[in-house]
Structure 1
C-alpha cells in the first residue's frame, strides 16, 4: 500500500484503504512502515510520507499513534543505520516536520529531554530540536526534504548562486546569504550551492576560503535551508569530479580532505559521507571525544 502511494501520491486513497482495515491497536504500524520505507527511498518519497502523516491525523490516526511510531523508530535506530547510515538525521527531520504539521504532539521532544542514552537517538532528537527552534517566516517546514518547483533556467540559478557565494566571501554575512538563497525558492536545487561552494574552495585553495565555506555550509545546514539529501548530493558531485579537478588544481585533493574533515567536525556532514571522500584510503581517522579527530 505504501509503495503504491509513492507512485500515485493520493492520500485520500490511503485513508479509504485504512478505514476498511480497521487497524485498532496496530494503527502505529502504518506511520512506522511508511517512514521506514521512505528512509530507504528518495527525497520525494520522504516528502510524500510527511504529507501522508499530516493527512492521516484526525481521520484514521491520532497524534499519539504517530508518536508511538516515532518512539519505536528512535529505539530501532541502531538497526536502521545498518541499511541507512544517515537515518538519525533523516528521522530528526521527519519528527520536526511532523511537529510543525501538527501530526505529532508539540511536547513530543520534551519527553526525551535528558532521557536519551543512545547516541543515534540523541542525534535524531537534536536535529529535530534545531529545526524547530529556527524562527522562520513560514510556520510549516515545507522544504525540509528539499523538493519543490522552480521555473527559472538552470544557468540563471547557477549564476545567482555563484554571486551569492562571491558576496559572502567578501562580506561574511551569513544572514544575507540565507536571505538570497530563500528568495531563489529552489530547495530542490540547493545541492548546486553546496557543489559551487566546495569547487570555489578547491580552486582558491586559500585557508580563509576553507573556513568561510565551512561557516556558511554549517549555518545553512543548521537553519534547515540545505537538507541532508541536498548536502550529500552536492558533495557527491564534487567527489565524482575530483580526478578532473585535480588536473587543473594540483592541491585539490588535499584541500578537499581538509574541507571534508572540518565539515565533519562541525556536524555539517555525516561520518558516512566523510568516509566516501576520494583519497581517504590513504589516511585513517578515528573519532575521539565530542567528534574531534585524531590520526591513527
Structure 2
C-alpha cells in the first residue's frame, strides 16, 4: 500500500510539472515567478525529483530566451537583452553591432563615434596613403626626434654603380655591340655605356668592338668605325683609343686563328681611325723600328698604304662600304653593272658570287637578274649569252639568288621588253632563246617560261604581193 501511494504521488508531481511547463510557455511574462516557486517546491521535495528534470527545465528556459532575443531588430540588438550564465535575461548588456546588408560598404562609424565622416577623407582602403593625384611636400626633419642627427640635413644621396669587373665586362658589353649592329644608333650605345661604371675597363671597349666586327660583315665594320668616331670625346678619350689599338696589335697572332685576314682588316681600322682623327697621325710612325711580329708589321703597312692613297683622291671613309639598306638605289645598280662587266672579262663565277654576297642586298637581287638579261639582249655574239646563262645557273644552284628574286627579275624584263625592242630590234627573238635555254638548264620553271611575251611573226604585205601572208625575217 505504501508503494502504491508513493507511485500515485510521483505521477501527480509529473502532471503538475507538465502543467507548469505549459503555463510558462503560454505566459512568458510570469515565467520568472513560476520558476522561483517551482525551484522552491523542488528543494522541498528533492527526495522525489531527479537532477535530470531540473537541467531540462533550465535548457528550455535558455532556448526560449534566445528565441525572444532573435525577434528583436538588428538596430536594437546592441542594447537588447542578453543571457546570464544562469539563463536569465539581462538588460543593457552591450552586444557587437550588426549592420544590415545595405550598409556593408558604409565607411561611417557604426559605434556612434566620430563626426560621421568617411575614413581617410574618402581615400580609404588598405595600403592607401591618400587621394589619387595628391602631391606630398618635402618632409621636414623633426629636431625633437630621438633619432635626429645633425649630419642628416647635409647628406646628398646618389645612385652609385659598382665598377665593372673584368670577368663581367665581355658578357655585359658584347650584347650592346651586337644590338648596335642591328639598329645602328650610336647615341643609344653611348647612353648604355654611360650608365655602366667601366672604370679601368674603359679602354677595352674599342678592342672588343673591333674583335666582334672582324667576324662580321663589311657593313658591320663600317658601323664599328662610325661607333668609335662617335664615342671618342664623349665616352672615350684618345688615350683609351690608342691603348685599345695597341692591345689589338698585340693580339693579332690569336685573331689570325679565327680570321685569317685580321692583319689587313686591323690595318684598315687603324687607317680609318687616323682619318677620323681619333688616332694621332704619328701613331703609325711610333711603331717604326720596334715591331717584331709579322702580323703587326702587315697591319701597320696596310694602314700606311691606305693613308698614302688618300692623297691621290681615295675616300678612306668609304672603304668598308655601306649596308644594302643604307645605300641609294642608283649606287647599287651601278655596282651591279660593274660586277657583271668584271665577270664578262674574268669569267670567275666564284668571285662574282662573293661580290654579290658582299653587297648584302638579298632583297634587291632581282635587279641583278634584270641587268644581266638586259646585257644579253644588248650584246653582240654568243659569248655574253653563254656566260650570263652559266652565272645565273650557278647562282640559282647555290641559292645565292632565290627563286622569288629570279622570277621577279625575268618578269621585269617581260614588262620592259617593248621599250628595249625600240633600241634593240632583235630583243624579242633573243629573249625567247634565252628563256628557253634558262628553262632547259633549270634556272626557271615552266610558269615563268610560258609568261615570256612574243611579237606576232605574221604580217600582211603590200597589195602588189596579192595579200600573201609572209613570215617576218630578221
| TM-score under structure 2 length normalisation | 0.35
Report the equivalent of 1:50: 225
Report the equivalent of 1:142: 317
How far the C-alpha of 1:141 sits from its partner, in A, is 1.8
Secondary structure of the corresponding residue to residue 254 of structure 2: helix
Report the equivalent of 1:89: 264
Report the equivalent of 1:132: 307
Correspondence 1:14 to 2:14: no
Out of 224, 233, 239, the position equivalent to 2:354 is 233
CA pair 232-55 structure 1, distance change in 2 beyond 3 A? farther
Report the equivalent of 1:111: 286
- Pick 1 or 2: higher relative contact order, CA cutoff 8 A, min separation 6: 1
CA distance in 1: counterparts of 2:217 and 2:313, whole angstroms: 27
CA pair 16-153 structure 1, distance change in 2 beyond 3 A? closer
How far the C-alpha of 1:97 sits from its partner, in A, is 0.4
Q: Do 1:27 and 1:61's aligned partners in 2 also have CA atoms closer than 8 Å?
A: yes
Q: Do 1:194 and 1:234's aligned partners in 2 also have CA atoms closer than 8 Å?
A: no
CA distance in 2: counterparts of 1:61 and 1:231, whole angstroms: 40
Residues 197-234 of structure 1: per-residue CA shift (max 9 Å, x gap)? 532xx79xxxxxxxxxxxxxxxxxxxxxxxxxx99934
CA distance in 2: counterparts of 1:198 and 1:20, whole angstroms: 53
How far the C-alpha of 1:38 sits from its partner, in A, is 0.2
How far the C-alpha of 1:105 sits from its partner, in A, is 1.6
How far the C-alpha of 1:26 sits from its partner, in A, is 1.1
Report the equivalent of 2:210: 35
RMSD over aligned Cα atoms = 3.1
How far the C-alpha of 1:43 sits from its partner, in A, is 0.7
CA distance in 1: counterparts of 2:345 and 2:267, whole angstroms: 26
Correspondence 1:98 to 2:98: no
CA pair 232-64 structure 1, distance change in 2 beyond 3 A? farther
Query: In proportion to residue count, which structure has more helix?
Result: 1
How far the C-alpha of 1:52 sits from its partner, in A, is 0.3
How far the C-alpha of 1:195 sits from its partner, in A, is 4.2
Secondary structure of the corresponding residue to residue 27 of structure 1: helix
Correspondence 1:122 to 2:297: yes
CA distance in 2: counterparts of 1:111 and 1:32, whole angstroms: 19
Structure 1 residues without counterparts, runs of 5 or longer = 162-190, 204-229, 238-244, 250-296
Report the equivalent of 1:151: 329
Report the equivalent of 2:346: 198
Larger Rg, first or second structure (1 or 2)? 2
Q: Report the count of equivalent residues.
A: 181
How far the C-alpha of 1:20 sits from its partner, in A, is 1.5
CA distance in 2: counterparts of 1:98 and 1:6, whole angstroms: 19
CA distance in 2: counterparts of 1:12 and 1:133, whole angstroms: 32
CA pair 192-46 structure 1, distance change in 2 beyond 3 A? farther
CA distance in 2: counterparts of 1:236 and 1:13, whole angstroms: 29
| TM-score under structure 1 length normalisation | 0.54
How far the C-alpha of 1:75 sits from its partner, in A, is 0.9
Residues 241-262 of structure 1: per-residue CA shift (max 9 Å, x gap)? xxxx9xx89xxxxxxxxxxxxx
How far the C-alpha of 1:49 sits from its partner, in A, is 0.4
Secondary structure of the corresponding residue to residue 127 of structure 1: helix
Residues 124-157 of structure 1: per-residue CA shift (max 9 Å, x gap)? 100000001121447x622111226242386765
**Runs of 4+, deviation exceeding 3 Å:** 153-159, 191-197, 234-237
CA pair 36-143 structure 1, distance change in 2 beyond 3 A? same
